């Protein structure tokens, strides 16, 4: 019997869907998160396109970048794509993971990045806003930090972001409760720079961006680079760093971590046992 023939030209992989739209008007770049049918979840593909989008706009001469979703979204971003969280017993937010790589990419972007927010923001997308240089949000926006709801220990650099932005006690409340924080609270916390009526969001944000774009680009870049170096978090010794890892490992090795993800996928409340 003749051997089955294998097609010599394997079918070309379908092109990845465009999840991030990019635009450059003069010196103001815009990246639009455009994956509403998955609530703009931060999937690996979307995060890769976001990082590439930042690099392209900077290469093409942007002096400032606005990061936004499409006008009128109810959910700006539902955070990390939970279906892509690594299987239990592996650190879900280690240094090299896509979300952590994206957050550093935004912080290391040579030009200021302004998060223009409307709707609700969840988990890693909150940290994405925290990693931007400024946040302008509509009056109805909310921000929720969700690791405790899922059973995730979060990570040291992420926790430091929030302590720096909103202070220790409010960061603890945001993480311990996983409650959506209203934009008024977020403004009082220092999490957002401005909150405006939805109809003013675009005008206000692009006025702010235009003002930055017209300033001396080398000076703005040098000032951003200095802020980045000066706010890299608390200095900790090696033993403390190892102790933090040990604390985190106990959590992502736990049955609760597996349960948090499983419950989400099964659309039921999680039953945490503390084991
Ligand atoms: C995958 C999703 C998601 C999603 N992933 O619509 O910060 S950490 O450590 O927690 C980090 C690990 C992180 O960022 O974790 C993710 C944190 N995000 C959340 O906890 C938000 C989870 N989503 C929700 O609470 C709801 O979906 C909201 C309130 C965003 C929207 O509620 P709504 O009723 O409008 P559904 O819940 O029906 O979701 C619509 C579809 O999107 C999926 C969800 O599973 C559903 O899929 P199906 O249509 O296939 O059933 N979805 C939502 N969020 N983060 N998939």
All domains in the chain, ordered by first residue = 20-198+218-230 (3.90.226.10)
- pLDDT of residue 4 exceeding 80, the answer is no
Index of the ligand 1 atom closest to the CA of residue 74: 35
Pocket test for ligand 1, best of 19, 77, 122 (most atoms within 8 A of CB): 122
Give pLDDT, residue 9: 54
Closest to 176 (Cα-Cα) out of 148, 144, 154: 148
Q: What average pLDDT score do residues 197-207 get?
A: 98
Please tell me the distance from the alpha carbon of residue 146 to that of residue 263, in angstroms, as a whole number.
14
pLDDT tens digit string along 29-87? 999 999 999 999 999 999 999 999 999 999 999 999 999 999 999 999 999 999 999 87
Q: How confident is the model at residue 233 (pLDDT cuts 50, 70, 90)?
A: low
The two structure tokens encoding residue 232: 């890299």
* Residue 154 is among the residues annotated as catalytic for this protein: yes
Pocket test for ligand 1, best of 35, 78, 174, 263 (most atoms within 8 A of CB): 78
Residues contacting ligand 1 via CB (< 6 Å): 38-39, 41, 75, 78-83, 85, 92, 122-124, 146-147, 149-150, 152, 154
pLDDT tens digit string along 147-179? 999 999 999 999 998 999 999 999 999 999 999
Q: What average pLDDT score do residues 263-274 get?
A: 93
Measure Cα distances from 100 to 62, 194, 205, 210, 212 in Å.
Answer: 24, 26, 26, 29, 27
Backbone angles phi, psi at 111, to 5 degrees: -110, 155
Neighbour-count burial of 204, counting CB atoms closer than 10 A to its CB (0-12 exposed, 13-18 middle, 19+ buried): middle
Question: Among 29, 53, 79, 124, which one carries the catalytic annotation?
Answer: 124
- pLDDT of residue 2 exceeding 60, the answer is no
> Among the listed ranges 59-63, 199-203, 233-237, 238-242, which one has the minimum average pLDDT value?
233-237
Which residue did the predictor score with more confidence, 274 or 80? 80
Expressed in angstroms, the distance from the first to the final Cα of the chain is: 57
- pLDDT of residue 99 exceeding 90, the answer is yes
Tell me the β-bridge partners of 77.
Answer: 121
Residue nearest atom 7 of ligand 1, based on CA coordinates:
123
Q: Parallel, antiparallel, or unpaired for β 64-69 and 113-117?
A: parallel
Which residue did the predictor score with more confidence, 222 or 9? 222
């Amino acid at each position: 019997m003749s051997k089955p023939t294998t097609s010599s030209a394997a079918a070309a992989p379908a092109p990845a869907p465009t999840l991030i739209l990019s635009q450059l008007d003069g010196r103001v770049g815009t990246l639009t998160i455009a994956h509403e049918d998955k609530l703009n979840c931060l999937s690996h593909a979307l995060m890769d396109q976001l990082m590439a989008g930042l690099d392209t706009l900077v290469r093409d001469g942007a002096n400032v970048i606005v990061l936004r979703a499409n006008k009128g979204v109810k959910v700006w971003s539902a955070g990390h794509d939970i279906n892509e969280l690594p299987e239990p017993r592996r650190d879900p937010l280690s240094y090299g993971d896509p979300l952590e790589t994206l957050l550093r990419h935004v912080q290391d972007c040579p030009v200021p990045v302004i998060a223009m927010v409307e709707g609700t923001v969840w988990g890693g997308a909150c940290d994405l806003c925290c990693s931007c240089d400024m946040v302008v949000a509509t009056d109805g926006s909310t921000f929720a930090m969700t690791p405790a709801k899922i059973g995730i220990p979060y990570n040291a650099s992420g926790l430091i972001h929030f302590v720096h932005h909103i202070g220790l006690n409010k960061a603890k409340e945001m993480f311990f409760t996983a409650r959506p924080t209203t934009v008024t609270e977020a403004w009082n916390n220092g999490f957002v720079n401005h909150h405006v009526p939805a109809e003013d969001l675009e005008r206000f944000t692009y006025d702010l961006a235009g003002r930055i774009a017209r300033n001396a680009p080398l000076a703005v870049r040098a000032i951003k680079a200095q802020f980045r170096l000066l706010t890299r978090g608390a200095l900790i010794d090696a033993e403390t760093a190892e102790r933090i890892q040990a604390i985190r490992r106990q959590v992502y090795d736990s049955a609760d971590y597996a349960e948090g993800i499983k419950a989400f996928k099964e659309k039921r409340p999680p039953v945490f046992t503390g084991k």
